Chains A and B, each alone.
Chain A
């Protein structure tokens, strides 16, 4: 039972344009959401998070939007840069000892 889903396994975006990565969840107990970036053979790197009491959080080029009624969150990267090419995982927690449930990942490729 995949409680966190990223339905797009891959995404290609031109440099300078906006990248939008989507994530859906089914567990209504989730109240904290995170995005991680991962390169091959490395551990995930924390990017940005959002609590369920908010609907938007921004950090530089990265913005996360949360739509609780739709159980949907998205990560916007603008402008996209070639160095952003990686696999992006969304993750969710119900606050229980910060245990995370990860999505299946979306591979982003930013082209020149």
Chain B
């Protein structure tokens, strides 16, 4: 149980393009979803936390106008990288958590999206 599906798995696009990444919880309701970014051989860095139906909370240094997050339902969150540039190239991973049921629910991760901006 607790499967998170992330799509697409790989995107290559030109500089200036906006890219949308979808994150779906398939068999549970994700009250909270998280978006991470990982550079090669580095740790996962939290970008933002989103709760269904409310605005996302962004970590320090993450531009909210650049990385638009929408969490319209308990099973779907989207991250849109607007006007992407080569420095936005990275591995983006989402996760979902079943908060509100039991404390300390682990986050369950999608398989990530590799974004390459040319």
The interface of chain A, by Cβ under 8 A from chain B, is 32, 34, 36, 41-46, 49, 51, 89, 93, 95, 97-105
Contacts and interface: CB of A to CB of B under 8 A. Distances in A.
Contacts, number: 60
B100 to A, nearest CB: 11
Interface stretch (B14-22, B40-48, B68-76, B81-89): B40-48
B43 A43 contact: no
Nearest to A31: B104
Interface of B: 2, 4, 6, 9, 32, 34, 42-46, 49, 51, 91, 93-95, 97, 99, 103-112, 114
Given A42-B111, A44-B109, A45-B109, A98 B99 contact: yes
Contacts of A42: 111-112
Nearest to B93: A43
B111 A43 contact: yes
B99 A97 contact: yes
Most chain-B CB neighbours within 10 Å: which of A34, A95, A98, A101?
A98
A52 to B, nearest CB: 10
B104 A93 contact: yes
Contacts of B94: 43
Given A32-B104, A34-B106, A43 B32 contact: no
Given A41-B114, A43-B6, A104-B43, A98 B105 contact: yes
A105 B38 CA distance: 12
Given A34-B106, A102-B43, A41 B112 contact: yes
